[in-house]
Amino acid sequence: MIKWGIIGLGNMGQKFASAIAETSNSDIVGVASLDKNKIENFKNKYKYDNAKIYNNYDEIIKDKNINAIYIATLNNTHFELIKKCSENNKNILCEKPFTLNYDEAKKVANYISKNNINFYEAFAYRSHPQTKIIQEIIENDELGELTNIQSSFGFKVNKIKPESRLFNKMLGGGAILDVGCYPLSILNFFHKDNNSYKFLNAKGNFTQTNVDDYAEAEIEIDNKIKCQTKVSFKENYENKTIIEGKKGKLIINNPWLPDRETMLEITVGKSYYKKLVNSDLSLYANQIERVSNNFEKNKKNDKFLVNIEDSLSIMKNMSIWSELIKK
């Protein structure tokens, strides 16, 4: 049984608290927030009577009864919290993005390695049964050699608020950093070798707060797989991923937030069929169950989770993408 501490009781911290009740190998024994109202809301909403309540982060990190920390605070706090957790021998699940830039990411990777910590970045879709089905379709050569991957994540924000984390550069704002990690993470799932990625072109737009609210990129992998990615705060995209090969095509209708029941569309030659994927657990419960299982086994590598090497690769490509749209 993994004894979890939650740092941050905003939207994601609450989703984690709800989901962990579905799991068989996890429990919440501590929570921390700097916001007294969020602490009171947590105590009233969730019945984790054995969970200690902390109003600062250092104390929960030092709690010897906790062996894993879920970091769900604002993006600009992740770096220091990961550093402190690793120094206190805590396994870590951190919300994305795990750092604000590639330089921070390299330092975090060093902390994780130096202290021999188990670390995963929270891309919950990776643990959903849908991802395993997608892998099987590709490994069974139903699509043939891959030739093209199209992936997007966009939603419309009606008003730009400088104080919002989405549009505040100091808080880690911007479409690439907030949601660009998703399409890049699915490229990472299929091809981890960063040296084989080549950005062919990129474009984007910056707001008056100096963060990107829209970006596109065309990437080539291994000189043969063409990839188109786009992200936005300006409009609602279909948020699909389409994978094409020499023999067929796979449409992932809900790649990032799959429900307990989700549908894949597969075309092979002239044959077309739909594949229903069911999950016994909710999206975040799948992630917690798998992460806790790996923590218990001291397992640092898992195809269906994003570990520190994957996170480093994704952040490097986000940094390249961000620099290209500035030109």
Low-confidence ranges of the chain (pLDDT < 70): 194
Between 3.30.360.10, 3.40.640.10, 3.40.630.30, 3.40.50.300, what CATH number should domain 126-281+306-326 receive? 3.30.360.10
Cross-strand partners of 198: 220
- Note whether 179 and 153 are within 8 A (CB): yes
For 327, the 3-state DSSP assignment is: coil
CATH superfamily of this structure's domain 2-124: NAD(P)-binding Rossmann-like Domain (3.40.50.720)
Which pLDDT value is given to residue 158? 84
Longest dimension (CA), the chain: 61
pLDDT at residue 192, rounded to an integer: 76
**Given this model, what pLDDT does residue 191 score?**
85
Please, are residues 306 and 120 in contact by the beta-carbon 8 Å criterion? yes
pLDDT at 48: 83
Determine the 3-state secondary structure of 234 from DSSP.
Answer: coil
Q: What is the pLDDT of residue 288?
A: 98
Q: Where are the domains of the chain?
A: 2-124, 126-281+306-326
Q: pLDDT tens digits for 233-253?
A: 999 999 999 999 999 999 999
pLDDT on residue 163: 78
